[in-house]
């Protein structure tokens, strides 16, 4: 049996064990995947990771608030994928040649979900609202798809820092979020990567802000952002698919198995649990 964990604080509500057991069943692998609560400090995180991999663990997911700490740990003692390097955050840990390897599958998970929804990314103008970790992880995968990006943020300086960090990969337009409070704006795809939906806050968007497709990286809470576009008849999508896709990419990295989401049985761990 192969062992996996997801490390976070809080962690009780993580859906990762259910997703990974679902994937494992679909390819006939016997795994254990459990939630690992970790005290919110660097030393505890290091100790948990060390104990897990020394004990023969195969892979770990990392969630709030440890993604940046995991990034630092891998950069000091192991290696990082280009996605984790540019995101400055790690959500997936594995061992490579006996050393820690950190990847970030969040942005590629977003891209996979958008493509799955039939959204064209090549040549598309994509507006992202927010300039935090969620946006940082999404930029490289979106640029790789040939998208043109405009980032809107409440604090312009954070958007400027992102623009500078990604200069070598392509040019990014930036703007202050408040410019969307009045006037007209159109993007092929508009993505909410702020934490506003999670904290129950509203982004003020004028009626002239329109899009071909609207995506909120959050899920499980009513999104005022998506409601704005839904009222306009725009196709909307929350971040549940991104959650599934980032997990799928981590599973594939760890096990070398390909997951076909159309052939996965969602009932055993996911649907029946939600309904019960
Ligand atoms: P994450 O890692 O989830 O991206 P983060 O790094 O704390 O979290 O970033 C949160 C993002 O949401 C930031 O872009 C933040 O804007 P600021 O840079 O101006 O702080 C944005 N954000 C959070 N609440 C917001 C709100 N009510 N209105 C607009 N932007 C908000």
73 alpha carbon to ligand 1 midpoint, in Å?
25
Q: What is the pLDDT of residue 256?
A: 98
Q: Which of 65, 107, 132, 199 to mutate to test the pocket of ligand 1 (most atoms within 8 A of CB)?
A: 132
- The contacts found for 207-214 with CB under 8 angstroms, 24 or more apart, are 208/182, 208/183, 208/184, 209/180, 209/184, 209/185, 210/184, 210/185, 210/186, 210/234, 211/127, 211/186, 211/187, 212/187, 212/188, 213/114, 213/117, 213/119, 213/188, 213/189, 213/237, 214/189, 214/190
65 Cβ inside 6 Å of ligand 1: no
pLDDT at residue 198, as a whole number: 85
What confidence tier does 208 reach under pLDDT thresholds 50, 70, 90? very high
pLDDT band at 189 (very low <50, low <70, confident <90, very high): very high
Tell me which residue has its CA closest to atom 8 in ligand 1.
132
CA pseudo-torsion sign 163, 169, 171, 175: negative
Average pLDDT of 96-112? Answer: 98
The sign one gets for the Cα dihedral 253, 6, 165, 187 is positive
pLDDT band per the 50, 70, 90 thresholds, residue 274 = low
Distance 83 CA to ligand 1 centre (A): 21
Say whether pLDDT at 275 is over 80. Answer: no
Q: What's the confidence (pLDDT) of residue 273?
A: 65
100 has a pLDDT exceeding 80: yes
- What residues are annotated to the active site? 67
Per-residue burial over 108-122, b if 16 or more Cβ lie within 10 Å, else e, is: bbbbbbbeeeebebe
For the segment 20-40, the average pLDDT, to the nearest whole number, is: 98
Nearest atom, ligand 1, residue 155 CA: 19
Q: Which residue has the higher pLDDT, 106 or 268?
A: 106
The predicted structure's pLDDT at residue 197:
86
Find the mean pLDDT for residues 233-258: 98
Q: If pLDDT is split at 50, 70 and 90, which confidence band does 276 have?
A: very low
Pairing relation of β-strands 125-129 and 2-8? unpaired
For residue 271, what pLDDT is reported?
Answer: 83
């Amino acid at each position: 049996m192969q062992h996996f964990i997801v490390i976070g604080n809080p962690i009780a509500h993580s859906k990762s064990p259910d997703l990974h057991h679902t994937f494992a069943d679909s390819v006939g692998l016997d795994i254990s995947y459990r939630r690992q609560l970790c005290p919110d400090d660097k030393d505890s995180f290091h100790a948990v990771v060390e104990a897990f991999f020394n004990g023969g663990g195969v892979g770990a997911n990392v969630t709030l608030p440890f993604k940046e700490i995991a990034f630092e740990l891998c950069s000091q003692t192991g290696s990082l994928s280009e996605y984790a390097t540019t995101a400055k955050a790690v959500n997936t840990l594995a061992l490579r040649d006996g050393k820690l390897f950190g990847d970030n599958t969040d942005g590629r998970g977003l891209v996979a979900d958008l493509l799955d929804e039939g959204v064209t990314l090549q040549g598309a103008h994509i507006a992202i609202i927010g300039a935090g970790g969620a946006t940082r992880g999404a930029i490289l995968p979106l640029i790789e798809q040939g998208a043109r990006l405009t980032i809107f943020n409440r604090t312009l300086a954070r958007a400027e820092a992102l623009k500078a960090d990604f200069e070598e990969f392509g040019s990014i337009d930036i703007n202050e979020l408040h410019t969307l409070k009045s006037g007209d704006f159109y993007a092929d795809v508009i993505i909410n990567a702020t934490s506003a939906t999670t904290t129950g806050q509203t982004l003020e968007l004028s009626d002239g802000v329109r899009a071909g497709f609207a995506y909120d990286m959050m899920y499980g809470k009513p999104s005022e952002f998506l409601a704005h576009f839904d009222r306009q008849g725009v196709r909307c999508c929350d971040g549940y698919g991104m959650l599934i896709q980032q997990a799928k990419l981590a599973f594939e990295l760890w096990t070398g198995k390909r997951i076909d989401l159309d052939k996965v049985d969602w009932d055993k761990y996911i649907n029946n649990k939600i309904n019960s």
